């Protein structure tokens, strides 16, 4: 099978913990659907959820109109929920925001020294930019032929 000799992990796999927060009025079902979209961002940034990877995503809404006071005397509350056919913009926003958060966590981290002198160096951003330029992956909107053709 392909890649069998190319993927080796001496140090084991890592995990990503992702929190998706919104103020949209969503049902628990649509919050689950929203959380699943964050996995698309992981894939877009190069992750493939290998064996042993323990990625977790939670999603919540803080839509204030649906909050119920502990002192409320009302026995039944009406809850507002966004319809399923209105979810696509939230799905796109979730993918984009998660992807941006992943890149920020990688590229904005600083070098740290921990216990017993263990040190983790920050990713050298200049080197990343150099590699991206080499493979022409910067400013895709300007370099992709389909984009140029449609916008000329």
Q: What residue spans of the chain are helical by DSSP H?
A: 28-44, 88-107, 125-134, 140-143, 145-150
Distance of CA 56 to the CA centre of its chain: 11
Contact 55, 41 (CB under 8 A): no
Residues 6+ apart with CB under 8 A from 143: 136
Q: Is 142 exposed, middle or buried (0-12, 13-18, 19+ CB in 10 A)?
A: exposed
Residue 15 appears among annotated catalytic residues: yes
Residue 49 appears among annotated catalytic residues: no
Annotated catalytic residue within 13, 15, 23, 88: 15
Residue 55 appears among annotated catalytic residues: yes
Annotated catalytic residue within 11, 23, 53, 69: 53
Residue keyed to tokens 């323990």: 54
Q: Which residues are catalytic?
A: 15, 53, 55
């Amino acid at each position: 099978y392909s890649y069998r000799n190319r993927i080796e992990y001496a140090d084991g796999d890592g995990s990503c913990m992702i929190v998706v927060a919104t103020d949209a009025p969503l049902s628990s079902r649509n919050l689950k659907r929203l959380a699943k979209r964050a996995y698309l961002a992981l894939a877009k940034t190069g992750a493939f959820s290998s064996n042993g990877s323990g990625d977790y995503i939670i999603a919540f809404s803080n839509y204030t109109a649906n909050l119920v006071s502990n002192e409320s005397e009302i026995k039944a509350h009406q809850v507002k929920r966004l319809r399923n056919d209105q979810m696509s913009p939230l799905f796109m926003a979730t993918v984009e925001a998660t992807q941006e958060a992943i890149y920020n966590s990688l590229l904005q981290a600083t070098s740290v020294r921990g216990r017993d002198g263990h040190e983790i160096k920050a990713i050298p951003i200049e080197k990343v930019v150099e590699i991206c330029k080499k493979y022409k992956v910067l400013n895709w909107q300007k370099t992709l032929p389909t984009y140029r053709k449609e916008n000329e």
